[in-house]
């Protein structure tokens, strides 16, 4: 259940932002999460509900955008998105991960102090 610790770190960051920015409430949270994080969306929203209970974030809607995998071959520059594959163009195992490890807050909907 690494979703819980993931949610806890996001909620901590959001509470800090609320305090700094003077927001009274956050009504919507959108996250971008890379597929390599292996997050189960159902467990994630359950964890979010549990962790935000009794906080100003309680009742906020949570949306998650999956970020697909993207590799680039270090030999020839070919890009592809399948896990555990060799480069489909030249067969090289040398690759860098361009996308798939994201864990970001994409956008928020907030209520501010008047
Ligand atoms: Zn290649």
pLDDT digits 0-9 by tens, 36-67: 999 999 999 999 999 999 998 999 999 999 99
* pLDDT value for 1: 62
Structure tokens at 31: 């996250």
Mean pLDDT of the chain: 93
pLDDT confidence of residue 31: 96
- C-alpha 83 to ligand 1 mean position (Å): 15
- Collapse the DSSP code of 21 into the 3-class scheme (helix H, G, I; strand E, B; otherwise coil) and give the result: helix
Show the low-confidence residues of the chain (pLDDT under 50): none
Q: Per-domain residue ranges for the chain?
A: 2-67+101-112
Query: Which protein residues have a CB closer than 5 Å to ligand 1 (ion)?
Result: 73, 75-76, 78, 87, 89-90, 92
Supply the angle between the helices 41-52 and 2-21 in degrees, to the nearest 10: 50
3-state helix, strand, coil in the chain (%, to 5): 30, 35, 35
CA separation for the pair 44, 52 (Å, rounded): 12
Report the separation in Å between the CA atom of 107 and the middle of ligand 1, taken as the mean of its atom positions.
Answer: 35
Architecture of the structural domain at 2-67+101-112: 2-Layer Sandwich (3.30)
pLDDT at 112: 85
- What torsion do the CA atoms of 47, 6, 82, 30 make, to the nearest 10 degrees? 70
Asked if 46 and 7 touch (Cβ cutoff 8 Å), the reply is: no
H or E segment at 66? Answer: strand 61-67
Cα 73 to averaged position of ligand 1 atoms, centre (Å): 5
Check: CB of residue 24 under 8 Å from CB of residue 108: no
């Amino acid at each position: 259940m690494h979703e819980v610790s993931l949610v806890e770190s996001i909620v901590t960051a959001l509470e800090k932002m609320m305090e700094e920015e003077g927001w009274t409430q956050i009504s919507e949270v959108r996250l971008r999460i890379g597929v390599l994080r292996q997050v189960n969306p159902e467990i994630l929203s359950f964890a979010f509900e549990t962790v935000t209970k009794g906080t100003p974030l309680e009742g906020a809607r949570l949306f998650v955008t999956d970020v697909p995998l993207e590799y680039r071959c270090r030999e020839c520059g070919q890009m592809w998105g399948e896990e555990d594959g060799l480069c489909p163009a030249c067969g090289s195992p040398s690759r860098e991960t361009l996308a798939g490890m994201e864990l970001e807050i994409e956008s928020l909907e907030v209520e501010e102090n008047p």
